[in-house]
Amino acid sequence: MAAAGAVADRRQARRPAVPERSHWYPAYVGLGSNLDRPAGRVREALRALTTLPHTRVVAASRLYDAAPVGFLDQPPFVNAAAAVITRLAPAALHESLMALERQLGKAPPSVRFGPRRIDLDLLAYSDLVLAEPALTVPHPRLHERAFVLYPLNDIAPALWLPGRGRVATLARAVDGSGVSLAAGEIE
C-alpha cells in the first residue's frame, strides 16, 4: 500500500502548480512602490518576475517617480512596467503576481490607494478583454494614469488596448504632471 501512495505522490509532484496554456501569450505588468527604498523594491520585483512559472520577462521600462493618486498624504511612488510572455492563463498569472507580492512583503494598505511596499498589477494580457470579480483586463484605470502609461510606453508604445487605443497615443494625451523619470534614468 505504501508503494502505491509513493507512486501517487510522484505523479502529483509532476503536475504544474498552476494551470498553463499550450501557447505563449504577451502580457504586461505594472510595478510600484513607495515604502522601504521604493526604487530598490521595484528593481527587486522586476528580478522576481523572472521566477514566475511558465513566464519569461522580455522587456522592462525605466523607473519613474510619481506623485500619489487618491490618498495624497504619503510618500511619492516609483513605478515601472514589464513585458512578459507566458503560458499561464490570465487568472493564474494574476494569482502568481499576488503570491509574488506577498513573498516580497506586501501587506494590505490601511487606506485605499495608500502606501505600499510593492504593487504588481496585470495591465494587459494579449488582446483579451476580461471583466471578472477578481480580475479586469485591461486594467480598468490604465488609460487614465500617466504613472502606468509612461513606463508602458517605454516598452510597448504600439500596444493596442481594446476599447482604449494605442499606448503611445494614450500616453501623449494623459496629464503627466507629477510623473518624471527617476533619478539616474536616461531620457
- Does the structure show a pLDDT above 80 at 16? no
Q: For 38, phi and psi rounded to 5 degrees? A: -55, -40
The mean of the pLDDT values for the chain is 88
pTM greater than the 0.85 cutoff: yes
Instruction: Provide the percentage of residues in the chain whose pLDDT is more than 70.
Output: 88
Supply 11's cell numbers.
505523479
- The matching CATH number, chosen from 3.40.5.50, 3.30.70.560, 3.90.550.10, 3.40.47.10, for 18-181 is 3.30.70.560
- Does the structure show a pLDDT above 60 at 53? yes
- Does the structure show a pLDDT above 80 at 129? yes
- Quote the DSSP letter at residue 9: H
Nearest to residue 46, comparing CAs of 60, 35, 28, 58?
A: 60
pLDDT, one tens digit per residue, over 89-105 is 999 999 999 999 999 99
Supply 2's cell numbers.
505504501
In angstroms, the CA 79 to CA 75 distance is 13
Would you place residue 147 in the very low, low, confident or very high pLDDT band (cuts 50, 70, 90)? very high
pLDDT, one tens digit per residue, over 76-91 is 999 999 999 999 999 9
